[in-house]
Amino acid sequence: MSAHLSLPHTFNAATHFIDRHLAEGRGASVAIECGDERVTFQDLYERVNRAGSALRDRHGVRREERVTLLLLDTPDFTTSFFGAIKIGAVPVPVNTLWKAADYQYVFNDSRSRVLIISKALLPEFEKIPRAELPYLEHVIISGRAGVHGGSRVHSGSGVHSGSEDPLYLSDLIAAGSPELEAAPTNKDEPAFWLYSSGSTGAPKGCVHLHHDMVVCAESFAKGVLGLTEHDRCYSVPKLFFAYGLGNAMYMPLAVGATSILFPGAPTPGNAYAVIEAHRPTLLFSVPTSYAMLLSHRREAGPDFDLSTVRLAVSAGEALPSALFTRFRERFGIEIIDGIGSTETLHMFISNRPGAIKPGSSGVEVPGYEARILDDGGQPVKRGEVGHLYIKGDSICAGYWNQHEKTKETISGHWIRTGDTYFQDEDGCFWHAGRSDDMLKVGGLWVSPTEVEHVLVQHAAVQECAVVACEDKDGLVKPHACVVVRAGVAATEALGAELQAFVRERLAEYKRPRWVEFVSELPKTATGKIQRYQLRDRLSARG
C-alpha cells in the first residue's frame, strides 16, 4: 500500500486533518478534551486559521520557515502545529523534559525565528543567554499570565528585551483572521521536523513531509487499531514524542475521534485520574509507565476503573511479557506492543489486537516491509539475529544538514533502524537489542556518552562508563560504573552526590539509577571502553 500515492500533488496536511471535518459534518463533535475544556472540530478549525494567519501576517512567518514548539499537551499544541502547517511553515516540536543547553542547540540548528512555549517552561528557557540565540526573534507564550501558577515574564530577562511586552498565543488567536486558505504545499514538501538523539553528537532533525502523517494514520491507526470516530485516545507519552504525536493528535484527527490531552506529569496517579475522568477507549503508553501503573494501587475501595479501554498500546522499548500478563490479569485489557521510530514517524512492526505474541514486537504493519540482514548486508536465516531494515512511505526525507548521517541511515527505500531482531517460525519479530550503545529509558533516548561526559566533570571521578541495567520489571535504566580519583573515598554519599550532579545538568530521565564504584574499566587495546563487557557482567549478576 502506498497511501500517499493517492494523494493529489498539491496537498496540505492541515486540510486533511483539520478542515475536512467540517465538510464531513463533524463540526459540533469534540476533537479535544483537556481538563474542563472541550474543543469542537469547528473551534479547532477556527483556532488553527487564527493562529496561522497571525503567524503569517503579524510575525511574517513565511513558507518553509521553522517554528519551534516547546509545548505541554494542551489544545494550543494542536493549534500551533496545524496553524504553522497550514501556512506552509514547518513546526518543530521539542522534548519538554530537556534542559536549556539542549534547547539552545535545536533553536539554532533549526534557525527558528519564532518559538511558541508553555508558560511553565519559561524558567528553563530563560537560562539561555540571549546572545546565544542569534536567530530567535519572537517568543509567544501559551498559558495566560498568572495561570498555571507562573509569574509574569520579566521584561529584560531572557529574550524579552527592553519594553516589549510578552506575547501570548491566546491574544494572537483572538486577533488573527478566522479565514485562512491553506498554502498550496506539495504532498512531498517538508511539513514538520522531530529531533532524534544519537549515541554521539547532537540530536538530528528528521524532516517529515506532508504525506507522512496520512500514511501512518492509514496503516497503523486504521489498519491495526481499527480506529473510528467513536474512539477516545489518551496517550501517557507526550505529543513532542513521535509516538505521542500520532497517538493523541494526528491519528484521532484522521478519523474524527476525540483526543484527551493532559499537560501535567505522567505519574500513575495522574494517568489513572485522567482515565477515570475522560474514559478513553484507547490507552497508549510505554513499558516503564505500564510498570508504574501496575505498582500503583488505590489506598482503599475498588480498583481503578479502566472499563472503557478496549485496547492498550505499548512502544518505545520492548514490553516484557510479564507486564503484558499482569496488566491483563488486573484489568482484563490486552496491551499490544509495536515498534516505531522518529525517523519512520510511527509503528512499522506491531502485534495485532486478538493475535498477540507476548514479548515479541509482532509482524509488519500494512504498508511496511522489514528485512533482517547480516553485517555484510545479506538476509539472515530465519531465527538468526541481524540488523533490522524497514521500507515504508512515512520515512523522513533525511536529517537536516547532516548528509553523512542521512546516508548512513537511509538508502533508497530502506532505513536502518539501529535495532537487532530475529524472526520466529510464525514470522513474528523479536527485539534483540540495539546495535549501538543507546539506551531506551521510559521510551526516551539516553546516550551513555552524554551522561559519562557529565560525570567526569565531577572532581571525584577519574573515569566512568554508563551502561544499561534491567530493573525488577525487566526494563532498562542507566547504571554508572565509576572509578574514583586517587585519595577519594567511594562512599554511598558520593554515589548520591553524583546522581544529583547529573540531575542538575541533564534531563531527569538520564540520571544513573545506580552508581557502582569499580577499580578499573574494561578497555580495548586502543583504550576504548568496552561497555558490552560491563553490560554482560551486570546481566550475569541478575
Among 88, 316, 320, 386, binds ligand 3UK (CB under 6 A): 316
Q: Which residue is nearest to ligand 3UK (CB)?
A: 340
Pairing verdict, β 476-484 and 461-470: antiparallel
Q: For residue 69, which of 118, 109, 33, 15 has the smallest C-alpha distance?
A: 118
Asked whether position 341 contacts ligand 3UK by CB under 6 A, the answer is: yes
- Judge whether 79 and 32 are in contact, CB under 8 Å: no
Query: Would you count residue 418 as binding ligand 3UK (CB under 6 A)?
Result: yes
Interacting stretch for ligand 3UK, rule CB under 6 A, among 35-43, 300-308, 315-323, 389-397? 315-323
Q: Taking CB under 6 A as the rule, does residue 243 contact ligand 3UK?
A: yes
Q: How far is the CB of 287 from ligand 3UK (least distance, A)?
A: 8
Q: By CB under 6 A, is residue 251 in contact with ligand 3UK?
A: no
Q: Which stretch binds ligand 3UK (CB under 6 A): 45-53, 62-70, 338-346, 517-525?
A: 338-346
Complete edge-to-edge strand list for the sheet that includes strand 335-340:
37-40, 30-34, 258-261, 232-235, 282-285, 311-314, 335-340, 347-350, 363-364
Q: Which of 417, 441, 452, 534 touches ligand 3UK (CB under 6 A)?
A: 417
431 sits near ligand 3UK (criterion: CB under 6 A): yes
Does the protein bind ligand 3UK through residue 371 (CB under 6 A)? no
Q: Are 479 and 466 in contact (CB under 8 A)?
A: yes
DSSP state string for 331-378: HS--EEEEEE-TTT-SEEEE-BTTB--TTS-BEEPTT-EEEEE-TTSP
Q: Of the candidates 317, 334, 437, 452, which one interacts with ligand 3UK according to CB under 6 A?
A: 317
Q: Which stretch binds ligand 3UK (CB under 6 A): 54-62, 254-262, 340-348, 376-384?
A: 340-348
CA 116 – CA 143 distance, rounded (Å): 11
d(CA 492, CA 110): 42
For residue 169, the surrounding DSSP H or E stretch is helix 169-175
- Residue for cell digits 473510528? 228
Non-local (6+) Cβ contacts of 489 within 8 A are none
* Contact positions with ligand 3UK (CB under 6 A) in 281-310: none
**Closer residue to ligand 3UK (CB): 45 or 192:** 192
What is the torsional sign of CA 136, 142, 148, 154?
positive
Nearer to ligand 3UK, 74 or 342 (CB): 342
Site for ligand 3UK in 199-218 (CB under 6 A): none
- Binds ligand 3UK (CB under 6 A): choice among 69, 239, 315, 395: 315
In the set 187, 440, 477, 510, which binds ligand 3UK (CB under 6 A)?
A: 440
**Which one among 109, 419, 437, 452 touches ligand 3UK, defined by CB under 6 A?**
419
Size of the site for ligand 3UK (CB under 6 A): 24
Q: Which is nearer to ligand 3UK, 53 or 417 (CB)?
A: 417
Question: Is the Cβ–Cβ distance between 324 and 358 less than 8 Å?
Answer: yes
CA–CA dist 272, 229 (Å, integer): 23
Q: Cα dihedral angle (155, 76, 317, 532), rounded to 10 degrees?
A: -20
Taking the least distance from each CB to ligand 3UK, the nearer of 168 and 509 is 509
Minimum distance, C-beta of residue 246 to ligand 3UK, in the bound complex (Å): 6
The answer to whether 447 contacts ligand 3UK (rule: CB under 6 A) is no
Residues at the site binding ligand 3UK, with contacts judged by CB under 6 A: 196, 242-243, 315-318, 337-342, 346-347, 361, 417-419, 431, 434, 440, 443, 445
